[in-house]
């Protein structure tokens, strides 16, 4: 599968991110095991309003990539989650979530929850 051209977007597509209870628990576990220096650096970065709290603006990538929510994994490949820089990759039908989201990262869940 061809990859998305995510570098250079500064997280414009990253948020607000719906998250399920199961995903939230995985993220909390990841944050707890993250080296303190990396966590503090990620937490204190300025971001565009609504951008996911885990988007690493300095590295121009997801700071929790290995445990990112399902919607993030599907972004760019589903017709209702089109990447504006490469819309031709959105060939899959509408995304149906397996579980119901319990909130959104950056809105309902912020750094104080981790």
- Structural domain contains residue 75: yes
- Structural domain contains residue 90: yes
User: pTM of this prediction?
Assistant: 0.86
- Structural domain contains residue 78: yes
Number of domains, the chain: 1
Range of the domain at 61: 17-109
Q: Give pairs for 8-13: CB < 8 Å, separation 24+.
A: 8/60, 9/60, 9/85, 10/48, 10/57, 10/60, 11/47, 11/48, 11/51, 11/52, 11/55, 11/57, 12/48, 12/51, 13/75, 13/76, 13/83, 13/84
Per-residue pLDDT tens listing for the chain (114 residues):
567 777 777 777 888 899 999 999 999 999 999 999 999 999 999 988 888 999 999 998 999 999 999 999 888 888 888 888 888 988 988 888 889 999 999 999 999 999
Strand partners of residue 55: 62
């Amino acid at each position: 599968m061809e990859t998305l051209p995510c570098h250079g977007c500064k997280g414009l597509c990253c948020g607000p991110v719906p998250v399920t209870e199961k995903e939230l628990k995985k993220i909390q576990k990841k944050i707890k095991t993250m080296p303190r220096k990396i966590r503090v650096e990620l937490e204190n970065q300025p971001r565009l309003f609504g951008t996911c709290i885990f988007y690493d603006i300095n590295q121009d990538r997801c700071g929790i990539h290995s445990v990112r929510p399902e919607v993030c994994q599907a972004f760019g490949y589903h017709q209702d989650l089109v990447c504006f820089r490469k819309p031709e990759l959105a060939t899959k039908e509408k995304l149906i979530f397996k579980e119901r989201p319990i909130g959104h990262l950056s809105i309902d869940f912020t750094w104080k929850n981790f």
